[in-house]
Structure 1
Amino acid sequence: MRILLSNDDGVHSPGLIALYEGLEGIGELEVVAPDRDHSGASNALTLSRPLTVEKHPNGYHSVDGTPTDCVHLAVNGLFDEPFDRVVSGINTHANLGDDIIYSGTVAAATEGRHLGLPAIAVSLVNSGHFHYDTAARVVRVLLESDRPLALGPRSILNVNVPDVPWSELKGFRVTRLGHRGRAEGAVPMTCPRGKQRYWIGAAGEGGDAGPGTDFQAIKEGYVSITPVHVDMTRHEAMSRLADWVDELNTGEVDPS
């Protein structure tokens, strides 16, 4: 099994290193990751310039681009041998609920899925203890399962792991995405040259964090596993919208 590892925190991040070390021996591993932190990059693809790839002494490859760039290049040009799957992470913080809209970690996984490969995004819900080894072991358990999992097209697993030792995990839960409340306001600051600047405010707390959500599973000490389908169509609104459009089509149109 050939596995492509990537992330959005950069090629030197401790989570990526822990993931590589935790998966050693499970198959042939290749690392292609951004040359710097690209948290919040979402699915951005660099189309305005060529990309530079550098191979490091430890065998990892870095790209001066986004997480999506990394997976796209790795699958579509850097290597002669094809990959069997993509694992993105271990992200240094949670990717719960609405976080996945912005997450470069999740984007790297979805790019792998767009290119036909099963993919997992994994994040550590960091509480300051940095138990990356726990998250890496979770991924290994998922990959070594005797029962192959078929999610269907355009689907990935979004995995969040509590920041605790392996022995303290309560287990695994299948969850739905919760929703965060409104983000905190932008934080103003003054740069050394006297100009006004702003930091983006912190993400909101869980606005929908009840039973069945990824937030609730983490709160109770469980690994959260959410199947994510990259189809943004709101299917339950189709019928209502169709009725509304029919009224537009049958109504009189003012030529003015």
Structure 2
Amino acid sequence: MKILLTNDDGIRAPGLEVLEAIAAEFSDDIWICAPDEEQSGMGHALTLTRPVRLRQHDERRFSVTGTPTDSVTMGLRQVMDGPPDLILSGVNRGANLADDITYSGTVSAAIEGALAGIRSIAMSQVIARDGAADADTFDAARRWGAKVLQPLLDTPLPARTLVNVNFPALPSAEVKGIRAVRQGFHDYSRGTVVEGRDPRGFTYYWFGLQAIEHTLDHGTDLEAIDEGYIAVTPLQLDLTHHASLGELGERFA
């Protein structure tokens, strides 16, 4: 099995090393094409207004001066010697749950893979609220990654779908198991913009990343993580709200 790895934290991110270890349990034909620098929050952005440069670090290891979407595109069209059987994105340092997936470069890299007709899976490690990072930050992802991935390799998935996986911020021994759940909902109304001044006296703004209100509906990714489970969520690329089509059709008839 040929596997392409990518992420949005950059080619030197520790989570990418964890992803390599997970992938190595299934294949020795592993390719990497990831952003040269961190691209968190870039979503499904594609670089169109400047050239993208490709750097080779090893025989099958490359970085791109662009977004996660650019990385997948370059990996498929310029780097690999044939299409992969699987694309893995991550392991992201931080959650990609609920509405946050619309901002996520990690998930968007998997979206690009799904658009290309390749089985694609995004993986993220939830971080404890104090934000502390140490050698055990990715313990749950490292120990449970292959257990989650194995069933996903054998499960039939419709075209233009992908899978989003989140590991709870717990030691691997305390993870309760794996749940297949739907996407949850965040309340962003309490988000803030922090204003400051740089050393030259100019005003700048920093988007606040304080805790966001969670709506822990039953059967959601937010609930699963809150209760100590790994959240596995199938996502589709059809964003159409089908229930509204009839009423809108009548309005424009």
TM-score (norm 1): 0.90
Task: Provide the C-alpha distance between the structure 1 equivalents of 2:160 and 2:152, rounded to a whole number of angstroms.
Answer: 23
Which one of the candidate residues 161, 182, 193 is aligned to 1:176?
182
Equivalent residues of 2:8, 2:35 under 8 A apart: yes
**What is residue 42 of structure 2 aligned with on the other side?**
41
Structure 1: gaps (5+ residues): 247-256
Partner of 2:252, secondary structure, is helix
Aligned length: 246
Equivalent residues of 2:214, 2:222 under 8 A apart: no
Q: CA deviation at 1:21?
A: 2.1
Q: Deviations over 1:210-230 (max 9, x none)?
A: 211111100100000111101
Structure showing greater radius of gyration is 1
**What is residue 23 of structure 1 aligned with on the other side?**
23
Q: CA deviation at 1:147?
A: 7.1
**What is residue 165 of structure 1 aligned with on the other side?**
171
Q: 1:6 to 1:52 in 2, by over 3 A?
A: same
Q: Deviations over 1:50-76 (max 9, x none)?
A: 211112258521100000000011112
Q: CA deviation at 1:140?
A: 1.5
Q: Which moved more, 1:221-230 or 1:45-54?
A: 45-54
Q: 1:86 to 1:137 in 2, by over 3 A?
A: farther
Structure 2: gaps (5+ residues): none
**What is residue 224 of structure 2 aligned with on the other side?**
217
Alignment-mate amino acid for residue 186 of structure 1:
V
Taking every aligned residue pair, what percent have the same amino acid on both sides?
39
Which one of the candidate residues 245, 248, 252 is aligned to 1:241?
248
Partner of 2:240, secondary structure, is coil
Equivalent residues of 2:148, 2:178 under 8 A apart: no
**What is residue 3 of structure 1 aligned with on the other side?**
3
Matches within 5 A, 1:84-233: 84-127=85-128, 128=132, 130-145=136-151, 148-182=154-188, 183-202=190-209, 205-233=212-240
- Structure 1 vs Structure 2 CA RMSD: 1.8
Task: Provide the C-alpha distance between the structure 2 equivalents of 1:40 and 1:63, rounded to a whole number of angstroms.
Answer: 17
Equivalent residues of 2:31, 2:80 under 8 A apart: no
Equivalent residues of 2:68, 2:109 under 8 A apart: yes
